[in-house]
Amino acid sequence: MYPKRPKELYFEGRPSPGPGGGFFYGFTLYLLLFGFLFSARLGYNHIRRAKHIGSAETKLEHQGVEALNIAFFLIPKKDLVCLKHDATMRQAMERMEYHRYSAVPLVDGEGKYAGTITEGDLLWKLKNTPGLSFENTQNTRLQEVEQHQQNTPVSIDSQIEDLMWRAVEQNFIPVVDDQQVFIGIVRRREIMEYCTKRLFV
């Protein structure tokens, strides 16, 4: 049995919201990001003109504009479920069913990010491979399954703007270190919640 994970650590584990659902959430986040970054830029430009407040970072905090980094949003690898890229389709389906995930990050033998496998990828493989059925999926490696969703990773040292704009198109963003080793993810949900609080609270 796989260890049960706290519900709050699930990342986009629910089934996709149907046609147009991804566009809706992406467009909503786009609007939130635009408002957040616009207001942050206004605040930053305002404090640059102030000559009696300390350092630039102190000025930003004084105006309520936080100096964020990607680690602020990071859910570490130890709190996630990921698969080796040479795991079998059977293992992937069982793991995703147990945790109610719709997508799982993959890592290679060195722990480096190797893509994201989704329910759709597995279903397309089953549909398009003659003779392949659930009973013999243990003979098919995930390396043989085409990935239709490209969840491009960001470096832990990247600018926060890179992370936010990436979240417009991706439900979650894989995060890697300077050696390209997978260290965790950032979910779109936390970014939306943060931007909403900053804009409307």
Q: What is the CATH number of the domain that holds 148?
A: 3.10.580.10
Count the Cβ atoms, other than its own, within 10 Å of residue 15: 10
Which run of H or E residues covers position 29?
A: helix 21-48
Q: Does any domain span residue 145?
A: yes
Q: Does any domain span residue 40?
A: yes
pLDDT tens for residues 118-145?
999 999 999 999 999 999 999 999 999 9
Q: How confident is the model at residue 161 (pLDDT cuts 50, 70, 90)?
A: confident
Residue-level pLDDT at 58? 43
Per the structure, the count of domains in the chain is 1
Q: Does any domain span residue 9?
A: no
Full residue range of the structural domain in which residue 91 is found? 18-200
Q: Whole-prediction pTM value? A: 0.67
Q: Does any domain span residue 6?
A: no
Task: Say how far apart CA 175 and CA 77 lie, in whole Å.
Answer: 9
Q: Does any domain span residue 156?
A: yes
